[in-house]
Amino acid sequence: MRKLLRGIRNLIYWFPIIWNDYDWDYNSIFEILHYKLTAMEKCIREHGISLDTDATVHKIKIARILAKRLVDCDYLERALVPCERKWGERSIDWNERDLTFIYEKANTEEEIAQADKDFLRAGRRSDVQEKADIDYLFYHMARYIERWWD
């Protein structure tokens, strides 16, 4: 009976995550992982009995925070903050042949060229940061996950 109740509780707990899962979206993996790590962290923090419970909780928390950053997927938004401070909001001007970015604070051709470079560099920086978070999350988990039990 206890096992049945735990199964029902798990179905209810996981329902919103599974309901919103998409097989074509790799971000769903991070959502599932974040949800699981959140539950593990809480369980071990509240019910852990080993001598290194605090260290285990801390290591799970690191993985949970990394997974949450990947779920939020705001790397580009964060990388663009310095550019937007310097050049203002950017908008797109479409014409028949191409598109042009327009910056609030870039007035000369040189400033526009520099703003284009800055925004492109920010985009690359966001890709590098996301990749670094993915690499570190899985490195961290591979190193410690077998000790995440109590």
pLDDT for 150 equals 64
The overall longest dimension of the chain from CA atoms, in Å, is: 74
pLDDT average, residue stretch 116-145: 97
Residues of the domain holding 41: 2-147
The CA distances from residue 29 to 23, 33, 96, in Å, are 9, 6, 40
**Predicted confidence (pLDDT) per residue in 37-76, tens digit:** 999 999 999 998 888 899 999 999 999 999 999 999 999 9
Flag the least confident range among 81-85, 89-93, 115-119: 89-93
d(CA 119, CA 83): 6
Domain count along the chain: 1
Burial 40-73 (b: 16+ CB within 10 A, else e): bbeebbeeeeeeeeeebbebbebbbebbebbbee
